[in-house]
């Protein structure tokens, strides 16, 4: 018996895919029309090439807007699945715009605080890397997403892809951290502040090292070793709201065949 893809919960069309749900669904098109960017003109059959083409034609600010809209479309889709209620496109757009505005205000550098040599010496020139993982407990699939910003809050680079060997959500978060550290090292980043919305990961990394030979314990030790190779590297906890860029990258990576840089 052939397994059939489920119907889209937003428009009812069969054979739902990530590309359909986020881009070509009639409900999603209404949101993209409100946005007013030429993203629906990019025609591909897969989400990863669509993202790459969109990022190549849009400005940095517009790319951030695309990501936050994708995240909120996916939330609306999940609301339709689990709560059998679909918010109006205008409501989804307002939520996306509000979240992006809050993020920009949080990370906007003070206008009267120019970077000086003294400030740089105190660590104000440290870039920030947002890290998150995706995990599907029913299938055991796991993904990672990481976005690097300069100390001014401007976009530098991003990466996402699939993870192997994750047996729980916390293990996926730990593997995502390890993947991000390796990626940053390959980019020759020597100073960085890592940001995660997983408090368990932060607590594990900063707890007293013990002889923990569990799967997670071994990966945590590998993360500690990787962190020690940086001139400066910290890991701090932030809310999911402030981590939505990395969360969106990790969510979309389930449909990627290869890692994206």
pLDDT of residue 213: 54
Query: 207 pLDDT band (50/70/90 cuts)?
Result: confident
Rg over alpha carbons for the chain, rounded to the nearest Å, is 19
pLDDT of residue 197: 93
**Long-range CB contacts (within 8 A, 24+) of 224-227:** 226/178, 226/181, 226/182, 226/185, 227/181
Fold of 121-255: Nucleotidyltransferase; domain 5 (3.30.420)
Classify strands 128-136 and 232-237 as parallel, antiparallel or unpaired: unpaired
Q: Give residue-wise pLDDT tens across range 84-114.
A: 888 888 888 888 888 777 776 665 544 433 3
Q: Is the pLDDT of residue 116 over 50?
A: no
Kindly report the pTM of this predicted structure: 0.57
**Domain parsing of the chain, residue ranges:** 18-107, 121-255
């Amino acid at each position: 018996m052939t397994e059939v893809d489920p119907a889209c919960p937003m428009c009812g069309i069969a054979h739902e895919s990530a590309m359909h749900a986020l881009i070509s669904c009639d409900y999603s098109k209404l949101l993209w029309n409100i946005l007013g960017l030429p993203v629906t003109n990019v025609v591909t059959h897969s989400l990863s090439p669509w993202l790459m083409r969109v990022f190549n034609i849009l400005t940095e600010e517009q790319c951030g807007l695309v990501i936050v809209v994708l995240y909120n479309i996916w939330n609306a889709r999940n609301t339709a699945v689990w709560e059998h209620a679909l918010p109006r496109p205008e409501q989804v757009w307002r939520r996306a715009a509000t979240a992006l505005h809050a993020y920009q205000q949080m990370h906007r550098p003070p206008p009267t605080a120019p970077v000086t040599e003294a400030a740089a010496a105190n660590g104000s020139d440290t870039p920030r890397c947002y890290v998150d993982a995706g995990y599907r407990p029913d299938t055991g699939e796991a993904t990672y997403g990481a976005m690097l910003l300069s100390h001014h809050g401007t976009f530098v680079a991003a990466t996402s892809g699939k993870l192997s060997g994750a047996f729980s959500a916390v293990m996926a978060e730990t593997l995502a951290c390890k993947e991000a550290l390796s990626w940053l090292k390959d980019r020759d980043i020597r100073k960085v502040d890592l940001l995660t919305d997983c408090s368990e990961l932060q607590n594990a990394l900063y707890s007293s090292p013990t002889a923990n030979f569990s799967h997670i314990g071994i990966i945590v030790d590998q993360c500690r070793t990787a962190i020690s190779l940086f001139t400066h590297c910290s890991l701090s906890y932030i809310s999911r709201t402030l981590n939505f860029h990395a969360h969106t990258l990790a969510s979309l990576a389930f449909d990627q065949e290869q890692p994206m840089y």
